[in-house]
């Protein structure tokens, strides 16, 4: 059973073909009740009263009992419905990491089987997990598989610099100092990219952020801002508006580009996984305490962050374009610490194997 409709389309691609599955929404869209599940729920209500599990978790267990599920799988790793479930039942719960998390955030939760981006994440999860396995980014792996299936003679024109956008429409009109600082960091980074592109005739790509039901309006605002700031052409890659995964999605931008530039983004981790260390302009925030430094603590990501001056940025970009790691001292010998990625066993294949093994070993004994 896939728990949570959000992310279910991704998880469904990881379920081995000979297994049946069902998606259980848990965000108040609807609730499923039968006499069998209701009896189970009422019989085990003391688990909630003694705080072994929470109400939503008991509901999930009740539906699992009704549907005779062997394994629960979710792509939403930062929700609490699974609290204590693996301690009160032999039913296995597989949690697949879907986005950027701080080690502190990960370590505050309990997991049964946690499949994380990297050793950084699984090390944080291990004390509170039965199993914690670094598998890498599933979305990156799916896009890589689609990309790899393209005909060998189909050539993709590269871009020299890909800027990973973190545009949020509300920031542009926000009076909050931290939001204004975010806007200024974007403006400065784009101004630097524009100067470099003009000076060295570089091709620019933008990985757009627009998503959700308002994505068209969001996209138009985002494109307007970047068209104004860059004052030159750029290639578009999209989070949700793409026509083909691996071709014009944000991950395609990672594959196409020679240099990745970002303030901070989950795609920074994923770029490291495919051997493209990002140039991060995070230090434009100075010493201000912002969430970007929580996601990318300086002691771990210092090698990727450039000093907040144009000359330092230019030097880093040109060194990366030239493949000169002496000029830009980057250590990727342990890239799996940031994002595991193995072309021979891609993240989706690893997760599928774990789901199969776990399901075959499981028996429903609720």
Domains and CATH numbers, the chain: 2-136+344-361 (no CATH), 152-337 (3.40.50.2000)
pLDDT at 365 over 70: no
pLDDT at 209 over 60: yes
Mean pLDDT of 51-73: 94
356: Cβ contacts below 8 Å, ≥ 6 apart:
16, 19
185: Cβ contacts below 8 Å, ≥ 6 apart:
263, 281, 284, 285
Supply the pLDDT for residue 95: 97
Supply the pLDDT for residue 366: 40
Helix and strand numbers, DSSP H then E, in the chain? 16, 11
| Sheet order of strands, 204-207 included | 235-237, 204-207, 159-164, 257-262, 279-280
Q: Are 97 and 109 spatial neighbours (Cβ–Cβ below 8 Å)?
A: no
pLDDT in tens, 25-44: 998 778 999 999 999 999 99
Tokens encoding 134:
């670094």
Indicate the burial class of 50 (C-beta count within 10 angstroms; 0-12, 13-18, 19 or more).
exposed
- Cα–chain-centroid distance for residue 168? 17
Cβ-based neighbour number of residue 149 at 10 Å: 8
Q: d(Cα 266, Cα 134) in Å, to the nearest integer?
A: 16
Mean pLDDT of 71-95: 93
Band of pLDDT at residue 173, cut at 50, 70 and 90: confident
Q: d(Cα 223, Cα 205) in Å, to the nearest integer?
A: 12
pLDDT at 60 over 90: yes
pLDDT at 153 over 70: no
DSSP SS3 for 70: coil
Mean pLDDT of 244-259: 93
Supply the pLDDT for residue 364: 43
DSSP SS3 for 52: coil
The owner of tokens 């024109």 is 157
pLDDT in tens, 101-151: 999 999 999 999 999 999 999 999 999 999 999 999 999 999 999 988 877
Band of pLDDT at residue 212, cut at 50, 70 and 90: confident
Q: What is the mean pLDDT of the chain?
A: 91
Mean pLDDT of 94-100: 94
123 phi and psi angles, rounded to 5 deg: -65, -35
Least confident residue range of 122-136, 304-318, 324-338: 324-338
């Amino acid at each position: 059973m896939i728990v949570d409709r959000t992310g279910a389309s991704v998880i469904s691609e990881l379920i081995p073909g000979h297994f049946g599955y069902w998606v259980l929404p848990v965000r108040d869209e609807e609730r499923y009740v039968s006499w069998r599940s209701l009896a189970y729920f009422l019989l085990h209500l003391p688990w909630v009263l003694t705080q072994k599990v929470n109400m939503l978790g008991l509901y999930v267990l009740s539906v699992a009992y009704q549907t005779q599920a062997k394994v629960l799988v979710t792509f939403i790793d930062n929700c609490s419905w699974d609290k204590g479930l693996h301690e009160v039942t032999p039913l296995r719960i597989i949690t697949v990491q879907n986005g950027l998390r701080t080690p502190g955030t990960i370590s505050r939760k309990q997991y049964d089987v946690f499949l994380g981006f990297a050793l950084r994440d699984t090390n944080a999860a291990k004390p509170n997990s039965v199993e914690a396995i670094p598998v890498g980014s599933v979305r990156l792996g799916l896009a890589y598989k689609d990309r790899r299936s393209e005909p060998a003679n189909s050539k993709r024109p590269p871009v020299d610099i890909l800027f990973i956008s973190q545009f949020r429409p509300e920031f542009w009109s926000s009076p909050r100092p931290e939001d204004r600082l975010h806007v200024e960091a974007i403006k400065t980074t784009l101004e630097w990219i524009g100067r470099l592109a003009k000076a060295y005739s570089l091709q620019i790509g933008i990985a757009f952020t627009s998503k959700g039901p308002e994505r068209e309006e969001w996209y138009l605002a985002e494109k307007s801002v970047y068209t104004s700031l860059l004052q030159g052409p750029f290639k578009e890659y999209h989070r949700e508006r793409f026509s083909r995964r691996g071709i014009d999605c944000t991950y395609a931008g990672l594959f196409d580009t020679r240099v990745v530039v970002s303030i901070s983004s989950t795609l920074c981790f994923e770029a490291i996984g495919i051997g493209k260390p990002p140039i991060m302009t995070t230090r434009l925030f100075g010493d201000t305490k912002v969430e970007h430094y929580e996601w990318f603590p300086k002691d771990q990501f210092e090698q990727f962050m450039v000093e907040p001056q144009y000359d330092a940025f230019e030097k880093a970009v040109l060194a990366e374009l030239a493949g000169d790691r002496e000029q830009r001292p980057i250590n990727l010998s342990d890239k799996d610490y940031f994002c595991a990625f193995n072309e021979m066993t891609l993240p989706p294949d690893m997760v599928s194997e774990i789901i199969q093994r776990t399901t075959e070993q499981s028996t429903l004994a609720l």
